[in-house]
Chain A
Amino acid sequence: MGMTLAEKILARKSGKQEVRPGDYLTADIDLAMAHESFAGAYLNLASAGIQKVWDPDRVVVVLDHYVPAPTERSAGIHQIVRSAVEQLGIKHFYDEGRGICHQILPEEGHVCPGDLIVGADSHTTTYGAFGAAGTGIGMSEMAYVLATGKLWFRVPSSIRFQLNGMLPRRVMSKDIILHIAGKYRAEVAQYRSVEFSGPTAGSLSVDGRMTMSNMALELGAKFGFFEPDEKTIAYLETRVKGPIDPIRADADVSYEEVYEVDVSGLEPQIALPWTVDNVKPVSEVGEVAVNQAVIGSCTNGRAEDLEVSAEILRNKKIHPRTRLLVFPASRAIYQEALRKGWLEALSEAGASICPPGCGVCFGAHMGLLAAGESCVASINRNFRGRMGSNDARVYLGSPATVAASAIEGKIADPRGY
């Protein structure tokens, strides 16, 4: 019997012919990624008396979570990271302002189909959009990977979401993944590998696929794959050095579960506080006034997201009650949005354009909420207290939904724009 993408990649990386769900193995890591978490991993490494990493070329470090440094403490963490990177000879270091790790890695050609990538960040599943097995690990394990280039894995079982139908206008891949979270709940992929497939998966842009692989983690997934196709290759070709492996799952694979999802007629979806799977179609949300609207993050801060937001907001003004924050996922995207006039349109409408980085997404700085405030955001989590006060409410939606909501000052349906 054939193997799924997860099984194929884990078999290859551990030098085995065949692996099955539940098997344990030790695999060679293609790439290790850390952000500010590198400071902790480095200190762990140093405490074990280790002064070098297994292969400095296979380590990528990105400063993105606290940029520009909001406190003296975070500036200190950045200082540790910068000197560690220099001491260990890590060349692939992206200092503050370059962008969010999960955008930078593919953008700069560090992600290849078939790669096994670990990151000291939970949303490392994003690289599945390119057929790479990306998954999050803790800081102690990261220290081990940095020292040895290896890590143990348990082969996950695999499930497949077969996506059919054509997405209606102004309905985005974010709405598909929110719909899946709402319908099948947040544990549907616990300890399993997800494959998104079917005609709709093929019709999504690379940007749109990244949103879904990113949020596969919110379903509990270890990996969140799309099979590479001509769009993947077109994106990677100019960025990746060396050949690109068009890895696919075998045809005769049996999945633990296959879910059919028809997206034709899908409404824009909203996740209500305080879980990602507390989802309703926008028409059933009712009147929800918003004090803040946020477009950006590693989930939805890409070109496609800024373009649709600019289309909706061009020649309009945001509601006087609502603040709008935009943070592009990388400097390259920021510059593209500058050249194409998207940032101008957003700024004219009343948005504050923030530097590329994580910022408000995890409640560290740049736009926290007061008690009693509500926010609609294109990010991936709405847990209680994640964006400031424990008594603030965060609603998740697509960038189109956030843009429309900024205009109306309340959660709004983007299909009218």
Chain B
Amino acid sequence: MKVKLIKGKVWKFGDNVDTDIISPSIYMDSPEELREHAFEAIKPEFAGEVKSGDIIVGGRNFGCGSSRESAPEVIKALGVGAVVAESFGRIFFRNAIAIGLPIITCPRVSEVFEEGDELEIDLKGAKVRNISKGKEIQSEPLYHDVLDIILKGGIISLLKGMQKNE
């Protein structure tokens, strides 16, 4: 299967960005309000300024905290093309994959990128490139089943596809 490269402008975050920061619980019952307030506690300008296709670069333990699916969902709803971080909270990582948000673990990513850099991800080859600086680093390869879920747009779309093929 040929896999398209994902390309976008970097928004950079630090370590331990938790699911309450991403998806504040007071706005959780309204997807519209949640979109306006995502990441508000640490980057209030993000929700208003993020452009479709931009990419989030996080530090360690990105998405730690609760099991709410709304955290990866709001990131996807804001049009973010992918999330790259040094490491992830367990359930956030699973939920992102389940809803088809490209996500990749890349241990040195914070060193190599500044806010606003142009980033390119080769999901299949497990490579992350800084186009602005001309650097390439290795990321943790995604398991083929996981890659398949992401490329099909999430686990429910994957199931729909499986039904058709039967």
Contacts and interface: CB of A to CB of B under 8 A. Distances in A.
Interface of A: 22, 24-26, 44-45, 47-50, 122, 136-141, 143-144, 147-148, 152, 154, 187, 190-191, 220, 222, 385
B31 to A, nearest CB: 16
B94 interface: yes
Given A152-B146, A190-B89, A141 B61 contact: no
B84 to A, nearest CB: 17
A143 B156 contact: yes
B70 to A, nearest CB: 11
Contacts of B143: 24-25, 152, 154
B interface, size bucket? 20 to 34
Interface string B66-81: 0101000000000000
A136 B99 CA distance: 17
Interface in B140-166: 140, 142-143, 145-146, 149, 154-160, 162-163
Nearest to A24: B143
A143 B159 CA distance: 9
B123 interface: no
B25 to A, nearest CB: 8
Contacts of A190: 61, 64, 89-90
A150 B49 CA distance: 40
A49 B157 CA distance: 10
| Most interface-central of B61, B64, B156 (chain A CB within 10 A) | B156
| Nearest 3 Cβ contacts at the A-B interface | A24-B143, A48-B159, A140-B98
Contacts of A140: 69, 95, 98-99, 154-156
B91 interface: yes
| Most interface-central of B94, B160, B162 (chain A CB within 10 A) | B94
Interface of B: 25, 61, 64, 67, 69, 89-91, 94-95, 98-99, 140, 142-143, 145-146, 149, 154-160, 162-163
Given A24-B146, A122-B67, A143 B94 contact: no
A49 B160 contact: yes
A26 B145 contact: yes
Nearest to B68: A138
| Most interface-central of B69, B89, B155 (chain A CB within 10 A) | B155
A26 B143 CA distance: 9
Contact of A50 (B99, B149, B155, B163): B163
Contact of A141 (B64, B94, B163): B94
A48 B159 CA distance: 6
A44 B89 contact: no
Contact of B163 (A48, A137, A143, A222): A48
Given A50-B159, A147-B159, 12 more contacts: A45-B159, A48-B160, A137-B94, A138-B69, A140-B154, A140-B155, A141-B98, A147-B162, A187-B61, A187-B64, A190-B90, A191-B90
